[in-house]
Amino acid sequence: MYGNAYIENDGNKVNSILADEDPIKLAEFEARIAAGDKIEPKDWMPKEYRKQLVRMIEQHAHSEIIGSLPEGTWITRAPGFRRKLALMAKVQDEVGHAQLLYSAAETLGKSREDMTNDLINGKSKYSNVFNYPAPTWADSAVIAWLIDAGAIVNQLANSKGSYGPYCRALDRICAEESFHLKYGHDNVVFLATGTPVQRAMVQEALNRWWEPIMHFFGPPDKASQHSEILMRWKVKMGSNDSMRQTFLNMYVPKIWDLGLTLPDPNLRKNEETGQWEYTEPDWDTFKQVINGNGPCNKERLAVRRMAEENGRWVRKALMNKSEEYVTPLA
């Protein structure tokens, strides 16, 4: 699962971004993408294309790793053996997705240890939603259903992008995410159609998660030359708002169907425009959380550091000094 990529949107730099690129190679590169061809690791690519892709794929990989933490918390306490097994399988999938994505990012020249260090040091971002706690079982159900649903909206769009290794990783990931979605939906339906206590529990979880879910797709996009270039290069496959609309259109009716409510009195579909109307979530809160001040940022990174530190002696014992690291092929 995955949130929005936080692409820096600096319109002033646009001219300098392309200034030192070879115009002939740039034209060939853009023609290839326009024709629907994929770019492969050793192909020529503009520096900005490489930089934004590394940032995006790396954030995605970190999100998979960190995203498995709030859910992993619930494995030992999941109600019933089957749900424990299913949740374990889901968490294993998420960690596997991170492996696929790190490999894709490595093909662009950033080593895996650099990515891990940037995560541990707080230099790299990951999806904002994972900085919130999952206080009840219903929270883990809402995460598995709706956060994964949001992730699928993002990932399906990105799998049509221009960078071959990323697209291939996403094809695999999307196939596995559909189990997560079904599993999460099953859990939410079970609670929503259960006793009054179960219904109240899932309603409260939904209330807690609504703002993070609205944040998930990122702030409304400002039109800029920079994002126009990234769209043309098929790095960015849709605006944050269009992804949010797709999500609302698919899932709000399903939530309402269960007799559950969402904590936004203005949420409705405008039948004339076909667009959903809603109250803008608090984007200052979003910035605060991204910059390290969310309820769980410190815990997430501390747990990640512990894993790295506790695993070090195993890695060292297995390390073969005579072997040299080679960038993965594809």
By CB under 8 A, tell whether 232 contacts another protein: no
What single-letter DSSP state applies at residue 149? H
What single-letter DSSP state applies at residue 221? P
Residues 38-67 that bind another protein (CB under 8 A): 40, 42-44
Residue closer to another protein (CB basis): 2 or 132? 132
By CB under 8 A, tell whether 147 contacts another protein: no
Cα-to-chain-centroid distance, residue 103: 16
Among 112, 182, 199, 269, binds another protein (CB under 8 A): 112
By CB under 8 A, tell whether 85 contacts another protein: no
Among 92, 279, 291, 293, binds another protein (CB under 8 A): 92
For the bound state, the minimum distance from the C-beta of residue 236 to another protein, rounded and expressed in Å, comes to: 24
The answer to whether 224 and 11 are in contact (CB under 8 A) is: yes
The answer to whether 133 and 296 are in contact (CB under 8 A) is: yes
**Interface map 245-284 toward another protein (x if CB under 8 A):** ----------------------------------------
**Segment interacting with another protein, rule: CB under 8 A, options 114-122, 147-155, 208-216, 275-283:** 114-122
Which residue intervals of the chain are DSSP H helices?
A: 14-19, 23-34, 47-72, 81-106, 112-120, 137-142, 148-158, 164-192, 196-216, 225-232, 240-257, 283-288, 297-318
For the bound state, the minimum distance from the C-beta of residue 116 to another protein, rounded and expressed in Å, comes to: 6
Q: Tell me how far apart the alpha carbons of residues 256 and 259 are, in angstroms, rounded to a whole number.
A: 5
Nearest 5°: CA angle at 51, between 110 and 325?
15
Interface ranges with another protein (CB under 8 A): 40, 42-44, 73, 76, 92-93, 96, 99-100, 103, 106, 111-113, 116-117, 120-121, 133-135, 168-169, 172, 175-176, 298-299, 302-309, 312, 315, 318-320, 323-330
